[in-house]
């Protein structure tokens, strides 16, 4: 009966491969399906995907499909009025495209930690002397409707559990299959005793 100890359901510390489609107000705004996209791969229970979605997929099996509605508080949060900030126009380079809807990355000095933290903002207003930046996530305050399809479930390695994420490319959860082959080869070369 032992099928390589493979987990049957989504639970903490299993690695989940999942296709998803995200709709807001009936319009698909993001999807892992399509020519240029791959399913997302993540370590369940570590907050790699938004809380409302993570909570809703516990117990699903490979092949299961589910529609999930996530309220803002379990998604990208409510809109925080304090995250909408007016900045003097002269803080921007002269040739900067100050137009509504332009997304910019701002370096904010983080007093607690060394270095700067990058924050994404969207220009929401421009007048003669100031520019208003909205640092809220573009999906803050929105109800998110996900359609998910569980493609695969596997045990996480002890290293993955310890590090809290899937190994491969730390910055992204999107992998091509060939990455895994390369990883296996690398592992063999790295771990000669």
At 28-76, the pLDDT tens digits run 999 998 778 899 999 999 999 999 999 999 999 999 999 999 999 999 9
Give 6 or 69, the one with higher predicted confidence: 69
Could you give the residue range(s) of every CATH 2.40.10.330 domain in the chain?
81-134
CA atoms within 13 A on the CB side of 53: 27
**pTM, full prediction:** 0.71
Q: Over 50: is that where the pLDDT of 168 sits?
A: yes
Q: Over 70: is that where the pLDDT of 189 sits?
A: no
Task: Tell me the pLDDT band of 94, cut-offs 50, 70 and 90.
Answer: confident
Given this model, what pLDDT does residue 73 score?
95
CATH architecture of 81-134: Beta Barrel (2.40)
Helix extents (H) in the chain? 51-56, 158-163, 177-190
Contact by Cβ (8 Å): 9, 159: no
**What are the two backbone dihedrals, phi and then psi, of residue 183, each rounded to the nearest 5 degrees?**
-60, -45
Given this model, what pLDDT does residue 77 score?
94
CA atoms of 154 and 13, how far apart (whole Å)? 9
Task: Tell me the pLDDT band of 25, cut-offs 50, 70 and 90.
Answer: very high
Residue pointed to by tokens 């421009």: 126
Contact by Cβ (8 Å): 172, 109: no
**What are the two backbone dihedrals, phi and then psi, of residue 91, each rounded to the nearest 5 degrees?**
-80, -10
Token pair listed for 156: 């996480």
Task: Tell me the pLDDT band of 122, cut-offs 50, 70 and 90.
Answer: very high
Could you give the residue range(s) of every CATH 3.10.50.40 domain in the chain?
14-75+141-186
Residues 6+ apart with CB under 8 A from 141: 72, 76, 77, 78, 79
Given this model, what pLDDT does residue 112 score?
60
Residues 6+ apart with CB under 8 A from 45: 11, 12, 13, 54
pLDDT tens-place string over residues 134-162: 999 989 999 999 999 999 999 999 999 99
pLDDT tens-place string over residues 98-120: 999 999 988 876 566 566 678 89
User: Domain 14-75+141-186 - what CATH class?
Assistant: alpha beta
What are the residues facing 189 on neighbouring strands?
A: none
């Amino acid at each position: 009966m032992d099928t390589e100890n493979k987990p049957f359901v989504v639970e903490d510390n299993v690695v989940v491969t999942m296709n998803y489609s995200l709709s807001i107000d009936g319009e698909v705004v993001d999807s892992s399906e399509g020519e240029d996209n791959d399913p997302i791969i993540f370590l369940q229970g570590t907050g790699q995907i938004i809380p409302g979605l993570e909570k809703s997929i516990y117990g699903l099996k490979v092949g299961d499909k589910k529609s999930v509605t996530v309220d803002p508080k379990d998604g990208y949060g409510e809109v925080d009025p304090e995250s909408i900030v007016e900045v003097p126009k002269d803080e921007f380079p002269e040739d900067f495209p100050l137009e509504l809807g332009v997304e910019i990355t701002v370096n904010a000095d983080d007093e607690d930690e060394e270095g700067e933290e990058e924050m994404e903002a969207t220009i929401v207003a421009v007048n003669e002397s100031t520019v208003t930046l909205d640092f809220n996530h573009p999906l803050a305050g929105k109800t998110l409707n996900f359609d998910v399809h569980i493609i695969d479930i596997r045990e996480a390695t002890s290293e993955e559990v310890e590090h809290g994420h899937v190994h491969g490319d730390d910055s992204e959860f999107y992998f091509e299959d060939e990455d895994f082959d390369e990883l296996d080869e690398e592992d063999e070369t790295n771990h000669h005793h």
